[in-house]
Structure formats: C-alpha cells, structure tokens
A and B are shown apart, each in its own frame.
Chain A
Amino acid sequence: MKGDSGSRPITKAFSNGGIGYLLGSSWVVLFIFLEIIVFSLASGAFFSMETVQLILFNGTEVFLLAIAELFVIITGGIDLSVGFVMGFATVVASKSIVALSNVGLSPLLSILLGAVLTILVGLLPGLINGWLVAYLRVPAFIATFAMLGVSHGVSELLTQGIPTKNMPSLAGDIGNGSLLYIPPSGVWSFFSRPQVQRGQHVWEIIPNMAVFSFIFIGIFAFVLKRTRFGRHLYAIGGNMDAAIRSGINVRHELVKTYIISSFFASLAGITYVMKYITGKPDAGANMVLEAIAAVVIGGASMAGGSGSVGRTILGALIIAILETGLRIIGLQTFTTYVLVGVILIMAVIIDQSFPSLKR
C-alpha cells in the first residue's frame, strides 16, 4: 500500500519549503529535544551526565537490534527473528562461558572464546533465513517467523526453563563498567574504577557495552554507505527486478544481509549477557517492536530502498530516552509500549505527509 498523501492540501503547504519543510525533515531531532525538555521539567534528576550514561546503557540492545533490522528493511524484507535470535545468543554465550570457565580457563579467556563462539553460532539463523528468502523464495515474514520459532525452541531446550547461573563475575564487571573514569583528583583512568574515598563522586563516561556496540555499528555504517555491497542493498530494496537485470547477485547479497542481521542480534545477546550476567530465551522477546520502530522512525520505508544507520540510531535514541526518562519520572513499563506504538504510527504519518523529502 503505497500512499501519495502529498496531494492533500494541508501537507502541500508544508512541502513547498521553508519552516514546514525543516520541521518535517528533522522532526526526529526536534522530538529528541522535546523529550529532553519534557523529562527535565518533569524530574530534576533527569538532566544529568548519569542519565546520558543510563540511556546508552539501557539502549544498547535496541541500538544493535535496530541496525540488524535496518539492513533487512533496506532490502525490502523484514526480520521477525532478531528478538529470539538475541535470546538464543544470550543462552549460547552464557552457557559456553560457564562451560569454558568450568573447564578451568581464566575468566577473561572464557568470556572471549564464549563471545566468539556465540557470534559464529549466531550466524547460522541468518544463513538459514537468507537461504529460505533468497533461494526458496519464502516471504521474509514467514521465513524469519519460522526462525523465531526454531531459535525460541532451541534456546528453551538448552536452558530447560532455568536462566543461566554462575557466570564469572568478571563478565558483570566488564558489562557494567565504563570506558572512562574521572575521579575528583582529575587523573583519568580507562576501564577500571580508581580507588577513591567513600562519598567521593567518580564520573563514569560511556558504558563499555555502548563502546563495544558502536564499534560494530560504525563499521557497518561504513559498509552500508561506502561499499559496493551497501549500494547493492539499496538497489535490491528499490527495485528487485532492476537489481537482477543490472547483474547484482541478488541471492548472495540477500543471504549476506540476513547473516548481518543475525550477527547484530547475537551482538545484542552478548551485551545482554555481560550486563545482566544471565542468559534466557525471552531476553529480547519484546524488542522486535522497538527495533522495527527505531528503523521506521528513522525514516526507512518498509517497502525497502531507504534508511540509514545514523537516522536509525536517532530513532533508537528516541526510544531509549523515552524508556529511561519514563523510568526516572517513575512511570511503569506499560507507558513505554503505548508511547512507542503511538510514535511509530506518527512517524509514518509524518513521513507520508512529506513525500518530497526523499532520503
């Protein structure tokens, strides 16, 4: 259902340029400012450096899953499995780390090996998704839903209903640590918290897991924007026929896309394990909504061919700020669901109203 609501008179006045154009094109940024203002007015505790860290800390999974979803949506597909592939990854990561440290490896080595193993195993769902979509021509919705079921089932079988326990405490230290610590003495230290007297405040700048995820997000932003593969994805999403005729190996590129998607879902799983030192199948169950919402708020079209990493991160930030802000002012989780749902619909309506703003 492609809309051309541009013919409606109200929106025409806006799309002619000027202030309306500006509002329409950068409403995501404006909305972030609005959120910050509203939350700051609602609670004195919101406007602070700690909140920024908290937003990054809470938002890590959504950032990663949104990027996972973005790659698939650009090609005109959808990946419903990211949430449960993430859950699968938390189970694989936590189980393998516990197993490796039980064998007698040092905690650091077992965490590293466990993470690598998780990423390798985590490529598998994407490979199968891609194969189903590209080679068996199963609609992406069905193929990835099937994978959702399979990864849910497998991870439930692995855990037998009990979230993983006995993770090495180093995992939690890494997952809840920060990149930079600034004690009152002014001597910066990286990754390890300096010893200070009780009651003295240490600034903690950027959670480790946010650093970890933004490294990968940065790399793949480059891949999407600057490489031939990235351009192919937009071509496939824009017009599949034209992409085939222009000699792009659509099948290969689609398989790669779904592999990237489940790679990012596995990364989200690893960050979850490090932050909460446990693994459970439904860790990412409700995050599919947030991931897709972030991509769509970031201006991508579900029909494919548009979307960018930067805008997706802005979309994810809207959700992360909303979630953390609501928690700080003491509202319960359910308000987040309602507001994310409303913003998601509003985002598309706004984008439909400004058809001239093709990104």
Chain B
Amino acid sequence: MPSAKKGGLGEEDDLSESKSAVQHGFFETGFGKSIARNWALCFLILMTMVFSLTSRGFFDIVNFQNILHLSTGSFLLAVAETLVVITGGIDLSIGYVYGLASVLGAKVMQVLSVAGLPTVSVVLLGCCAAVVASLLPGFVNGIVITRFKVPSFIATMGMWGICNGVTLFLSDGFMPVMGAPEIINKIGNGFVFYIDPGKSVSFFQKPSYIADTNIRQLIRLFPNSLFLTLVVLLVVSFVMRRTAFGRHTYAIGGSMDAAVRSGINVNRHLVVIYTISSFLAGIAGLFNLFQTGIGNYTPSGANYELMAVAAVVIGGASLTGGKGRILGTAVGVLVLAVLENGLQIMGVSAFYRYIGVGILLVIAVVIDRAFPDLF
C-alpha cells in the first residue's frame, strides 16, 4: 500500500516538527487525551447540537430514525471495509458488489414471480441468489491477493470493474430492475413497534384499523433496518474483540511477518476476511432492494466504497493496518450521515456534503498523525 511509505516519511526527525509542535498542554492531560481519541464522537455530538439549534425539524425522533434507516447500507459497507482495512488491505469492490447483489436479487425475484411461484419462495430464493453471488467476488479477491500476490488495491479494483460490468449487464444498461414482490418493501421499511397513543401497541405490523393514509398518527419506533445494523455491528464487534479470529486479524494488519511466524494461516484468514467483506456488501445491497423495492445499479461516481473508507478512517482506523474499531467505524458512518441529513434540512445544497466529507477526512488523518501515541 502507498500509505505504508508515508509512514516511513513520518519517522524522519526533521520532517516531524509539526507533530511535536501540537503535542503539549491540554492534550497531555487525561481528559484532553480522551477528547483527542474520541474526536469523531465529540464532533458528532457537537454537530448534532448545532443542527438541533439551527434547523427546525432536525431534533426529532422521526428524523433520527430516518438517519439510521437511510444509513443502513453505509453501516454494513463500512463494517466490511473496516475488516479489510484492519488487515492492512483495502477493498474497492464493495460498492459494486452492493449494486450487484441488489440488481441480481431483484432480477431473480422478477423472473420467479413472473413464473408464478409463491411469494415466500420468490423472496427467499432471490435473497439466497444475491447472498451466494456476493460471496464469490470476495472469495476471488482473497485468492488473487493471497495466491498470486496481487496488491489488494489492484485486485479489488479489477473486481470493481468486473462487478460493475456484470451489474450493467443484468440491469440492461442503467435501468432499475422492477417487479419484485411488494412484501419486501414492507419488511425493509417496517418498524418493530407501532404505537397508537392510548390505544394499542403492535409489533412488526401496523394495527389493521389504521389506513395507510393515516399512518402518521401512529408512533413508529425502532425500524427493522436498525435491527439489522445492530446485529451486524454487535456480532462483528464481538468477533473482533473477543475471539481468536479477531486477534489474528489485528495481528496480520500489525505485522504480516509476525503473524506468519506465530503460526497464523494468513492466506486462509485473508480469504475469509475478503469473503466476509463481500458478503456484508451483498447483505447491504440486498437490504437496499428491500428498502426501495427495485434493484439499483451503482451509479457511476457514487463511490460507495470510498465513502466506506472515509467512515472507517474518520472512525479512527489506519490504512496501514492493525488498528481500527467496529464501533469507531459506526461513529464515522454517523458523522457522515448526520452531516448529510443536517445540511439537507438546513436547505444547503447536497453538494457541500462532498466538500464537507473531504475536509473531515483530512482532519481525521491529521489528528491521527498529531497524536501517534494515543491510539
């Protein structure tokens, strides 16, 4: 990775005056250190407060649920990217695996429902097809990276092109794939709790006496998507923190040589990591299908994979590997999501978001570089 070289530049004494210049006073204290370490979280809280004060409608449970609901895909993609980044690699293919899973799932559902299968089996088979297909790019990435020693950047960039092409093929150019059963929309956009104040509480389904047009008088809590996000975040976080698999992942990213010497089967481990990454991207794509009801290709210039890398870096991981937390990444995703949502509600053009993300990224790395001993 190119970034490994930049680390070398940092070791040079005469080049690192800027580092020592910042490192005194406030940030030496325990409180200061924890602020610097969790700057993304502090920034998130600060941003939430500012948006709450400046824009009407931001500080609202409906809006907060909306933010979480809409960033489900980003959460899953960023978790996928975190795993790969911790090993010291990068996965550029996840954005298009995401699109591939969405389009393939929709296509299979479309074909099967035309063939007249019952809805349940249409949905299940579509999901299976999408999930199985999403394992393949990651597996191939892993094999190419470990057996043929292709840098992860190149291997996954090649896969980026391949998945992009296959997705375009499946969706006939840029047409969204329609015709999936409507039930998936209800699942994807549903909530766990529906509360009619003072009358009833029901789970997963709105009470039948309320018409679709009056749905706003219900209090809807805890979107299904949040459930998915939490499960993924907690499971992966647990695996990374508490299991041998997680420790091996950090070991590989910290020092490949040391990992090999300590008897970790690095090649097999990396194949598994890239496959999981691709799998999570596939789940994200499938969820996108459940959310929108149509199979969406990944638009050119959407850069989902780069947004995921951005969230990972803002969350405190380092592209040189060996460092990063799943929950940190979750904060990174939230920073980007709240920024987008807040700017939208303020009526600021969405394009400022791109600029904002760019600036945040640089701040993240500069802070990371300024406090090398903190992390």
Tell whether A337 is near chain B: CB-to-CB under 8 Å: yes
CB contacts (< 8 Å) of B149 on chain A: these are 1-5, 352
| Contact among A244, A282, A293, A341 for B12, CB-based, below 8 A | A244
Residue from B145, B162, B369 whose CB has the most chain A CB atoms within 10 Å: B162
Tell whether A294 is near chain B: CB-to-CB under 8 Å: no
Q: Tally B residues with Cβ within 8 Å of A.
A: 63
Tell whether B144 is near chain A: CB-to-CB under 8 Å: yes
| Contact among B18, B88, B162, B310 for A136, CB-based, below 8 A | B18
Tell whether B15 is near chain A: CB-to-CB under 8 Å: yes
CB contacts (< 8 Å) of B164 on chain A: these are 286, 334, 337-338, 341
CB-nearest residue of chain B relative to A245? B12
Closest Cβ of chain B to A155, distance in Å, is 8
Tell whether B301 is near chain A: CB-to-CB under 8 Å: yes
A356 to B275, CA, bound (A): 32
Are A146 and B362 neighbours in the complex by a CB distance under 8 Å?
A: yes
Are B361 and A145 neighbours in the complex by a CB distance under 8 Å?
A: yes
Given the known A-B contacts A244-B15, A341-B158, A345-B155, are A149 and B355 also in contact in the complex, defined by CB atoms under 8 Å? yes
Are B313 and A142 neighbours in the complex by a CB distance under 8 Å?
A: yes
A147 to B256, CA, bound (A): 31
| Contact among A139, A336, A341 for B159, CB-based, below 8 A | A341
Closest Cβ of chain B to A158, distance in Å, is 9
Given the known A-B contacts A136-B366, A148-B358, A333-B168, are A285 and B9 also in contact in the complex, defined by CB atoms under 8 Å? no
Are B162 and A342 neighbours in the complex by a CB distance under 8 Å?
A: yes
Closest Cβ of chain A to B232, distance in Å, is 24
Interface segment, B185-193, B203-211, B220-228, B346-354? B346-354
Interface of A is mostly: helix
CB contacts (< 8 Å) of A143 on chain B: these are 362, 365
Are A140 and B154 neighbours in the complex by a CB distance under 8 Å?
A: no
Are A282 and B319 neighbours in the complex by a CB distance under 8 Å?
A: no
CB contacts (< 8 Å) of A340 on chain B: these are 158, 161
Closest Cβ of chain B to A91, distance in Å, is 12
CB contacts (< 8 Å) of B6 on chain A: these are 133, 137-140
| Contact among B161, B349, B351 for A344, CB-based, below 8 A | B161
Closest Cβ of chain A to B171, distance in Å, is 9
Interface segment, A22-30, A72-80, A225-233? A72-80
Instruction: Indicate with 1 or 0, residue by residue over A332-354, a CB within 8 angstroms of chain B CB atoms.
Output: 11111111111011001100100
| Contact among A132, A282, A286 for B362, CB-based, below 8 A | A132
CB contacts (< 8 Å) of B90 on chain A: these are 141
| Contact among B89, B155, B306, B365 for A80, CB-based, below 8 A | B306
CB-nearest residue of chain A relative to B361? A146
Residue from A80, A146, A293, A349 whose CB has the most chain B CB atoms within 10 Å: A146
Closest Cβ of chain A to B174, distance in Å, is 10
Tell whether A156 is near chain B: CB-to-CB under 8 Å: yes
Instruction: Indicate with 1 or 0, residue by residue over B1-14, a CB within 8 angstroms of chain A CB atoms.
Output: 11101101111100
Closest Cβ of chain A to B163, distance in Å, is 8
Closest Cβ of chain A to B43, distance in Å, is 16
Given the known A-B contacts A148-B303, A250-B9, are A344 and B154 also in contact in the complex, defined by CB atoms under 8 Å? yes
- A interface with B by C-beta (< 8 Å): 1-5, 76-78, 80, 83-84, 132-133, 135-143, 145-150, 152-154, 156-157, 240-241, 244, 250-251, 281-282, 285-286, 289, 292-293, 296, 302-304, 332-342, 344-345, 348-349, 352
- B interface with A by C-beta (< 8 Å): 1-3, 5-6, 8-12, 15, 18, 88-90, 144-145, 148-155, 157-162, 164-169, 173, 256, 300-301, 303, 306, 309-310, 313, 319-320, 349, 351-355, 357-359, 361-362, 364-366, 369
